[in-house]
Every structure is written in C-alpha cells, then in structure tokens.
Amino acid sequence: MRLVLAAVGQRQPAWSQTAYEDFAKRFPPEMRLELKAVKAEARTSARTPTQLMAAEAQRLELACPKGARRVVLDEHGSRLTTPQLAERLRFWLGDGRDVVLLVGGPDGWIRPSRPRPTKP
C-alpha cells in the first residue's frame, strides 16, 4: 500500500525536507510514504478564494492514484488520537488500496466539481 501525502504548497526549506525524509523512513516497507506537492494558485484580487481552492483541488485530484482512498485533513473534520489513526492505517493496509491524505492550501480545501452523469 502506498500512503500518499498530497499537499498544496511550494518548495519547502531544506530543514523541512530533511524532517519529512526522516519521518518517511519510519514507515514500514509495506506502507511507504510518498509526498506529492502541487502548486498553489497565485493569490490575486481577480479570483475569489473559492475559485483558488477549486483550482488547487483539481490539482490534488490529479495527484491521487486511481482507486485510492481519499482522506481529507481538515480542521473541521474528526479528531483522532495517534492510536486511533494507527488503527485506521492498519485497517487500510488490510484493505489493500492506496491511501491519499489531502492537505489544502492557505485558504483551505474544497472538493473539486465533477460533472454530473447524464441520464440516457
């Protein structure tokens, strides 16, 4: 199983990259951690925060492996303790699907709009 951390953000300072690499080494071989950073939208007065978040969400969606379980990390979501998160990870490992942890940009995260299926 791959555990993908897909986050909106720019190039991180060297100390941050070093800390991530050290953290990623702690994961067992059957659950390797992979970072996919996607470009943040330029903050201009021409676009609303909702438009910026929607564009970033589209990039995050493209970073997700096909069929992966998506987990949105959001301040308004459910809070889990470390043991609770570890239990979920064990369950997901047994499920066999890749898992993507999604982290939004400076304005937060919004689900990308998807076209609705048309009726025949």
Any domain includes 110: no
- Number of structural domains the chain divides into: 1
Query: Ramachandran region of residue 41, left (φ > 0), alpha (ψ -120 to 50) or beta?
Result: beta
We report the CATH number of the domain holding residue 32 as 3.40.1280.10
- Residue 44 confidence (pLDDT): 81
At a CB cut-off of 8 Å and minimum separation 6, what does 73 contact? 101, 102, 103
pLDDT digits (tens, 9 = 90+) for 30-57: 899 999 999 998 888 889 988 999 999 9
Any domain includes 114: no
Instruction: Phi first, then psi: give them for residue 60, nearest 5 degrees.
Output: -60, -40
Range of the domain at 46: 2-103
Any domain includes 119: no
Name the more confident of 52 and 117: 52
User: Within a 10 A sphere around the Cβ of 108, how many other Cβ atoms?
Assistant: 17
Name the more confident of 90 and 118: 90
Any domain includes 56: yes
Nearest to 7 by CA among 74, 67, 92: 74
For the whole model, what pTM was predicted? 0.81
Q: How far apart are CA 96 and CA 100, in angstroms?
A: 13
